[in-house]
Amino acid sequence: MPLCDSHCHLEPKDFVTADGVDERPAVLERARAAGVEAFVCVGSGASLAEVHNAVAMAEAHPDVWAAVGIHPHDAARIPDGALDEIERLATTHPRIVAVGETGLDYHYNHSPVAEQQETLRRFCAIARRSKRPLSLHIRDAHADAARILAEEHADEIGGVIHCFTGELRDAQAYVGLGFHISLSGVVTFKSATAIREAAAWVPLERLLVETDCPFLAPIPMRGKRNEPAYITHTAAAVASLRGLDATEFGVATTRNARTLFGLH
């Protein structure tokens, strides 16, 4: 089935071996062989190194595009000038298709809540000015996230809640704000009953799938380093949950991703 990995991390630290072998070309080839026809490589961390890596991957591969941002874990440690540089790239670089990941994470609170919220607001403004959708990481903070997105008129730009881990009511709030819901391998976990309930409800035209690799490998690959080829397991599980043919589901979610991000 055709698929788009709408959120993957392809950092050298995870895919270049200790003796300098870059496994990423082989990783991408395995994914293509499995039916993945487009990748959104996300660059967001504590520095601009992740941003520049995502851009380089997008420049090197015609089926890879980039999303650029600062992770909410690092909202308290944004390097000087980083937001200006991210906005410049998002506004001018043709291979950058989203702003993020950014958002709120109250599970770990690696940055103070107030700084996470302020950074999310600043990224909403960057997304509006650059005319790029948002790619959002939201964990244990759905009520605040929905409130801030409404206050910042994020429905004017839209985007995706990546690696959705909320409940049905959270998915309904985000869809009501014009956002897409992206499902990762977490939806296949035994403990993910609430996520599966939401996944069954989300309108098909608002669904995306992703790996969030190298993290969160789906069952039956759980415990391994995740990679884009494994998205087939997540897609098959969600298609079955919704009573859809796997190919039909793949075509629909790939179309959704191409439309949202403008992947041409």
pLDDT digits (tens, 9 = 90+) for 204-220: 999 999 999 999 999 99
Q: If residue 135 lies in a helix (H) or strand (E), which one and from where to where?
A: strand 134-139
Quick check: 127 and 133 in contact, CB under 8 A? Answer: yes
pLDDT of residue 264: 84
Quick check: 135 and 67 in contact, CB under 8 A? Answer: yes
pLDDT of residue 1: 84
pLDDT of residue 45: 85
Q: What is the mean pLDDT of each run of 10 residues along the chain (264 residues)?
A: 96 96 98 98 93 98 98 95 97 98 96 98 98 98 98 97 98 98 98 98 98 98 97 98 97 98 94
Enumerate residues 6+ apart whose C-beta is below 8 A from 57.
10, 24, 41, 64, 66
pLDDT of residue 46: 83
Enumerate residues 6+ apart whose C-beta is below 8 A from 245.
239
pLDDT of residue 59: 98
pTM (global) more than 0.95: yes
The answer to whether the peptide bond before residue 218 is cis (omega within 30 degrees of 0) is no
Q: What is the torsion angle, in degrees rounded to the nearest 10, for the CA atoms of residue 26, residue 30, residue 33 and residue 35? A: -130
Residue 82 to residue 97: CA distance in whole angstroms: 18
CATH of 3-261, one of 2.60.40.10, 3.40.710.10, 3.40.50.800, 3.20.20.140: 3.20.20.140
Domain spans, the chain: 3-261
Q: Is 69 helix (H, G, I), strand (E, B) or coil?
A: strand
Task: Retrieve residue 248's tokens.
Answer: 């039909």
Task: Retrieve residue 60's tokens.
Answer: 């090197």
